[in-house]
Amino acid sequence: MFKSDRKSTAVKSLSKSPKTVRIFYTDKYPFICNTSFRIVRVRNRQNLCHCGQSANKPFCDGKHASIEFQDGLSK
């Protein structure tokens, strides 16, 4: 389950643990998580927005291509 606003997203765990993971967006970094986590099984893939311009945050909608976003990692 996802609940989001412009700067953060809460992701509720499907396990019995009551802990909620919060993902925060900043201008300098794509996202910051408030806890450590481990992905144990992936059925479907979903990319998180890195450019900050997605209309479907926290997920990528491909907007980075039209704005020619550069993350500084590629040469």
Runs of H (alpha helix) within the chain: 63-66
- The range of the structural domain enclosing residue 55 comes to 46-70
Picking from 60, 3, 51, the residue whose alpha carbon sits closest to that of residue 30 is 51
pLDDT at 12 over 60: no
In this prediction, residue 51 carries a pLDDT of: 85
Give the tens place of pLDDT for each residue, 27-75.
666 666 666 666 555 566 677 788 888 888 878 888 988 998 887 665 5
Considering the domain boundaries, does residue 52 fall inside one?
yes
Instruction: Please count the structural domains in the chain.
Output: 1
Cβ distance 1 to 11 under 8 Å?
A: yes
* Model pTM score: 0.43
Is pLDDT at 17 greater than 50 in this prediction?
A: yes
Residue 55 belongs to some domain of the structure: yes
Structural domain includes residue 63: yes
Domain membership flag for residue 56: yes
The answer to whether 23 touches 31, Cβ cutoff 8 Å, is yes
* 53 within domain boundaries: yes
Does some domain include residue 65?
yes
